[in-house]
Each structure stands twice: as C-alpha cells, then as structure tokens.
Amino acid sequence: MKGWRALAALTLLAAAPPPADNGAVFDKVWADVQRRYWDPALHGVDWDAARDRFRPQALAAEGGGALYAVLNRMLGLLRDSHVFAIPPAEVRYQASRDAGEAQASFGFASYEQDGGWLVYAVTPGSSAARAGVKAGWRLISIDGRPVDVDRHPSEGERARLVFDDVAGRPRALDLVAASAPPDEPVRFHRLAGDILLITLDGFDAREDRRIAAELRDGPEPAAVILDLRDNDGGEEETAARVAGLFFAEKHTLLRRIDRRHEDKVPIEGAGRRSFTGPMAVLVGPRSASAAEALAALLSESGRAESVGERTSGALTGASIEDLPDGGQLSLADFDVRTPGGKRIEGVGFLPVHQVRTTPAEMEAGRDPVLAAALHLVAAPSHSARETLHARP
C-alpha cells in the first residue's frame, strides 16, 4: 500500500532535467509491469500494443515532465491507484517531506472532487488565512492555469489564485508561499465526557507507539474516536500494529492476492492492554489505502461504528522501483480484500453511518461527522445508532 499519496497542499514544481535515455526509462517501466503486476492478465490490457503506442511518444518527449506524462498515460490503462510513475523532482520533494523538512505552501489544503479542488483546511496565520480563504471554497486556477497536483511553490513565491466561495462568487487573491513544518502524523485531543479523539494522518512510522503510550499513560478514556479522514495510507505493518491496540485477540487486517497465492496480514491483539471500550472510526474521500483497510476491519468486525463518507477506493499493495533517471515506479504487487472478502479498490469503503459535510458547514467550522460519532460513542445503544443512518 505504500506509495499512494493524496493531495495535502498546493505547490509549484520546477521542471525536471531531460533524462539521459527516455527509451531506457520507458523500457524498464513497461517490462516491470509485464513481469511483476499482481494480475498477470493485466485486466485484459494488450500490453504489447501499449508499448507500440506509447514508446514512440516517450522517445519524442522533451523534458522529464513530458516523459512522465507519457508513462502515466500508459500506466493509467491498468486503472490501478497504486500504479504510477514519479518524476525525479517529485521523488526529491517527497523525500524531503518524509524527512520532516519544512515545505512551502500557500497555507491551505485541498483535494480533487467532482472535477474541481475543494479547500478543506486553512492554516491559521498563513497567507491564505490572512487573505480570507475559507474551507469549503473551490480552487479554480493559479496564475491563470488549471490546478496541477504536482506543483510545489518555493519560499516567497507570489501567485494569483482564483477561488469560488460557497455562494459561487469568484475570489481572486494574491498569495505568498511560506515554509511551515508538517503536522504531526498523530494528534490527541481529550473531549468532553472523557472521550479521546485520535487524529491519524498516515502509517509511515511508529505512530502505534504514541497511541499505545497515550492509552496506557493518560487518563483512561470512556470512548475513542479514530479520525482517518486525512489518512492516505502507508505501511501495512504499522496499520496492523495500530489495529492491534483495539482488539484483545488476534484478527486479520486484510487478505493479499498476488500472482501465486493468497495470504493474510495478521494483527496481534494487545490482550489486557488493548482498549475495548466504545469506539468510532471517521472516514471520507481523502481516506485511502491502509486507512481504508483499517476502517473496513473495525466496521466489519463490529469493533467500531464507522461514520462519514465513502473513501477514495485506493487499496492495492505497491512497492517502489527506482528508474534510471532518478524517478520511481510505484507498482502494485498484490490486490487486497477485506477480511470479509470485499474489494475496495475502485469502489471505496462506505461507512455504516453516512454523514456528509457540506461546503457551507466547512466554512462555518462545523463538523457533523465528529458530532455524529460523539453521539454514537456516548450513547452506543441500538436505538441511538438507528437515528444516524444515511444522512444525505
């Protein structure tokens, strides 16, 4: 599952230098897919015909950006969320981000929705906040150009960004990019009623240790709400360890299917050290990969109430392969099923309690998903749960 990343902030990326040999990069990508992709039938895609079609385009591409656009058009034929090529400049950017280095941004986070880019968070004190940008607005363009997910601004860069506010009025604002340290991947808030809110944004380190310490050393919570709405996945081993904190006994996190066999990814229950009280898990369209697997386990097993919106449907298992020019190939080695046998890739996980946050609610700072979860864990009777199904 490692390798898939949802958009976290808007950026402006410098073009990569032309690779020394486009043909070598293309041939390695094509051959690795043919040799290693989890489905040997490649979902019925004629891979030889794909080579004949796209290789001349790759050879003619001038500059790394053009080459990787060709590669990703070919890889897109597989319709797999974890199969894509990463240009060298983006590899360097991700490495610095993963190392915890400060990254420049205009001060808001957005994600693609219904053909546009919906702002879901604004950093206090940032250029965007000072200019009046609100969650719930839609980003339309940057300096007159369409929004590009692979664009990263430099420190001090100025740009004109056009938004539509929640009433549909255009707002043209001049923003300045500034560096800020990344958010902690796991954060804790003690809410009224001794309810512990755990916001977990990824599974790329030992976040399970911090969660275990909070559960062990802090006041014992009456209930736990696990917020995975901004979690784009990561290492399945870390996700399994997090899951184990909420089960006393062993379980299966997910089932993996590759070219040769199917196996199960286990979780070790924490026994008496596990938290087994009332629990809810929050998900939405930015929840992806391992986050979807964990939410599905918690919901299918009956361990937690699932609340929110359908997830992104990005759940296969990938490894990263280096390419000759410094780029990388994310390639799905296995497919994934939930313990109950459901496939989430391309479909998403639908929570039991469907609660949608409207743009107007975002702008007003309201969180109906969290409010619904608080109601469920504070009154987890069957009659209370029945009232929260299928809010449009």
Residue 9 lies in a domain: no
Residues 253 and 137 in one domain: no
Last residue of a domain, one of 86, 111, 133: 86
pLDDT above 60 for 215: yes
Residues 220 and 307 in one domain: yes
Residues 160 and 192 in one domain: no
Residue 246 lies in a domain: yes
pLDDT above 50 for 237: yes
Select from 58, 82, 80 the least CA-distant residue to 70.
Answer: 58
CATH number of residue 169's parent domain: 2.30.42.10
Residue 91 lies in a domain: no
Chain centroid to CA 177: 23
Q: Which of residues 230 and 97 earns the better pLDDT score?
A: 230
**Helices and strands (H and E) in the chain: how many:** 11, 18
Which residues, in sequence order, are CB contacts of 193 under 8 Å at separation 6+? 222, 223, 374, 378
Residue 4 lies in a domain: no
Residues 137 and 196 in one domain: no
Residues 117 and 32 in one domain: no
Q: What is the mean pLDDT of residues 205-213?
A: 92
Residue 13 lies in a domain: no
Chain segment 121-164, per-residue pLDDT in tens: 999 999 999 999 999 999 999 999 998 877 788 899 999 999 99
Residues 219 and 341 in one domain: yes
CATH number of residue 30's parent domain: 3.30.750
Query: Average pLDDT of the chain?
Result: 89
pLDDT above 60 for 169: yes
Write down how long the chain is.
392
> CB burial class (10 A; 0-12, 13-18, 19+) of residue 87?
buried
Strands 279-283 and 305-308: parallel
Residues 258 and 345 in one domain: yes
At 14, the pLDDT band (50, 70, 90 cuts) reads: very low
Angle among Cα 358, 199, 150 to the nearest 5 degrees reads 70
CA distance 4 to 308: 21
Residues 156 and 110 in one domain: yes
pLDDT above 60 for 6: no
pLDDT above 70 for 44: yes
Q: Which of residues 179 and 2 earns the better pLDDT score?
A: 179
Last residue of a domain, one of 86, 115, 132: 86
CA distance 170 to 108: 17
Residues 274 and 220 in one domain: yes
Query: Per the structure, how many domains does the chain have?
Result: 3
Contact between 160 and 172 under an 8 Å Cβ cutoff? The reply is yes
Other residues' Cβ atoms within 10 Å of the Cβ of residue 323:
22
Chain segment 85-108, per-residue pLDDT in tens: 999 988 988 887 776 676 889 999
Residues 110 and 71 in one domain: no
Residue 92 lies in a domain: no
Other residues' Cβ atoms within 10 Å of the Cβ of residue 126:
19
Q: Classify 219 as helix, strand or coil.
A: coil
Residues 211 and 170 in one domain: no
Q: Which of residues 367 and 5 earns the better pLDDT score?
A: 367
Q: What pLDDT, on the 0 to 100 scale, is given for residue 355? A: 98
Residue 40 lies in a domain: yes
Query: Which residue range(s) make up the domain with 124?
Result: 98-180
Residue 68 lies in a domain: yes
Q: What is the DSSP letter of 260?
A: S
Reported pTM: 0.87
Residues 55 and 105 in one domain: no
Q: What pLDDT, on the 0 to 100 scale, is given for residue 1? A: 53
Q: In sequence order, which ranges of 84-169 are alpha helices (DSSP H)?
A: 88-98, 127-131
Chain segment 342-373, per-residue pLDDT in tens: 999 999 999 999 999 999 999 999 999 999 99
Which residues, in sequence order, are CB contacts of 92 under 8 Å at separation 6+? none
CA distance 325 to 31: 16
Other residues' Cβ atoms within 10 Å of the Cβ of residue 182:
15
Last residue of a domain, one of 180, 202, 218: 180
